[in-house]
C-alpha cells in the first residue's frame, strides 16, 4: 500500500489505536524508554488533531493496560507524567480544540492527582467535534468482568432477572456505554495481537496492522489505514 493514500470516502466514525512501538523507537536511538513514550504522546497529539480535520467522531487509544503495571516504576511514572501534562493542557484548551474526553478502565489505581484530572476532563466534556476515549488501567477481560459483576449485583437487587441479559444490556455496563463500536482498529509496530484491547467492542472491527513504530505514525499512515479499511468488504456475517 502506498503512503499518502487518500480517499474521498467518509472516514470511519470511530477509530481505535494500540499505540505500540514506543520502547523500540527509543532503543533504536539509544534513548530511555520514557523518551519513546514522550514521542508517542506527540504522535497522539498529531493524530487526534488530524482525526478532527478528517471528521472522525471517536478516537479510542490504549494508553495504559492492566498488564502495564509489570513495567519498571520509572517507566510507569514517565507514562503517568505524560498523561498528566497532556490532560492539564487539554483542560485549558478544550473549547478551542473542540476535543472532549472519556476514560475507559479502572481509574481507582491511578494517583489522586491524575484521577482528578480525568474526572475534571470528563465532567467538562461537551459534544465537541472529537471524543477521545483514553484506555487507562484498561483490560478487555477486566471490563467484561466488572460489567458482569454490576449486572449480577442488579439481579441480586431485584432490578433484573438473569434472562433479561442481552448484548445491548451487557454493552450498557461496559466503560464504552453509548459509544458506537470502532469500525477500524489500527496496531502499528508490526505486532499482530489484540492484547486485551476492546474485546467486546471489536467483534466486527476491521484490523489494520502496520509496520511503523507509533512515534513515527503520521497523518499519511492514518490515510493509508483508512484506505485499507475502505477496501475491505464488511459483511457482518452476511453474504
Q: Toward ligand FPP, which CB reaches closer, 11 or 23?
A: 23
What is the total count of residues that contact ligand FPP (CB under 6 A)?
Answer: 16
Q: Known catalytic residue: 211?
A: no
Q: Toward ligand FPP, which CB reaches closer, 97 or 171?
A: 97
Least Å distance, CB 66 to ligand FPP, is 11
Q: Known catalytic residue: 68?
A: yes
Asked if 68 contacts 238 with a C-beta cutoff of 8 angstroms, the reply is: no
Q: Toward ligand FPP, which CB reaches closer, 85 or 159?
A: 85
3-state secondary structure of 5: coil
Burial of 203 (0-12, 13-18, 19+ CB in 10 A): exposed
Least Å distance, CB 181 to ligand FPP, is 22
Using CB under 6 A, which residues numbered 59 to 98 contact ligand FPP?
Answer: 63, 68, 79, 82-83, 86
Using CB under 6 A, which residues numbered 4 to 63 contact ligand FPP?
Answer: 19-24, 37, 40-41, 44, 63
Least Å distance, CB 184 to ligand FPP, is 19
Q: Toward ligand FPP, which CB reaches closer, 6 or 28?
A: 28
DSSP assignment of 69-105: GGS-HHHHHHHHHHHHHHHHHHHHHHHHHTEEEEEES
Using CB under 6 A, which residues numbered 146 to 165 contact ligand FPP?
Answer: none
Strand residues in 108-191 grouped as ranges (E)? 130-138, 184-187
Least Å distance, CB 77 to ligand FPP, is 12
Burial of 39 (0-12, 13-18, 19+ CB in 10 A): buried
Strand residues in the chain grouped as ranges (E)? 14-18, 58-65, 99-104, 130-138, 184-187, 206-209
What's the longest Cα–Cα distance across the chain? 59
Q: Among 68, 120, 181, 196, which one carries the catalytic annotation?
A: 68
Burial of 234 (0-12, 13-18, 19+ CB in 10 A): exposed
Instruction: Report residue 171 CA to chain centroid gap.
Output: 17
Q: Toward ligand FPP, which CB reaches closer, 40 or 182?
A: 40
Q: Cα–Cα distance between 105 and 85 in angstroms, integer?
A: 19
Least Å distance, CB 214 to ligand FPP, is 6
Q: Among 20, 22, 142, 223, which one carries the catalytic annotation?
A: 20
Q: Of all residues in this chain, which one has the CB nearest to ligand FPP in the complex?
A: 23
- Applying CB under 6 A, the residues found at the interface with ligand FPP are 19-24, 37, 40-41, 44, 63, 68, 79, 82-83, 86
**Active centre residues (catalytic):** 20, 68
Amino acid at each position: 500500500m502506498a503512503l499518502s493514500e487518500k480517499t474521498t470516502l467518509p472516514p470511519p466514525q470511530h477509530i481505535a489505536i494500540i499505540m505500540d512501538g514506543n520502547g523500540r523507537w527509543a532503543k533504536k536511538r539509544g534513548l530511555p524508554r520514557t523518551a519513546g513514550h514522550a514521542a508517542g504522546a506527540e504522535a497522539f497529539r498529531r493524530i487526534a488533531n488530524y482525526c478532527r480535520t478528517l471528521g472522525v467522531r471517536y478516537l479510542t487509544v490504549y494508553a495504559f493496560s492492566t498488564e502495564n503495571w509489570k513495567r519498571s516504576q520509572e517507566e510507569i511514572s514517565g507514562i503517568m507524567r505524560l498523561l498528566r501534562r497532556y490532560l492539564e493542557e487539554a483542560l485549558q484548551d478544550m473549547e478551542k480544540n473542540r476535543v472532549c474526553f472519556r476514560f475507559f478502565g479502572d481509574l481507582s489505581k491511578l494517583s489522586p492527582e491524575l484521577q482528578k484530572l480525568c474526572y475534571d476532563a470528563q465532567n467538562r466534556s461537551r459534544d465537541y467535534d472529537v471524543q477521545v476515549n483514553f484506555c487507562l488501567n484498561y483490560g478487555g477481560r477486566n471490563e467484561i468482568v466488572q460489567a458482569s459483576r454490576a449486572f449480577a449485583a442488579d439481579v441480586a437487587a431485584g432490578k433484573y432477572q438473569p434472562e433479561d441479559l442481552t448484548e445491548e444490556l451487557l454493552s450498557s455496563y461496559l466503560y464504552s456505554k453509548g459509544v458506537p463500536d470502532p469500525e477500524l482498529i489500527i496496531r502499528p509496530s508490526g505486532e499482530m495481537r489484540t492484547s486485551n484491547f476492546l474485546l467486546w467492542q471489536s467483534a466486527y472491527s476491521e484490523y489494520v496492522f502496520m509496520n511503523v513504530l507509533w512515534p513515527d505514525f503520521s497523518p499519511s499512515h492514518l490515510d493509508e489505514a483508512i484506505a485499507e479499511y475502505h477496501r475491505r468488504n464488511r459483511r457482518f456475517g452476511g453474504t
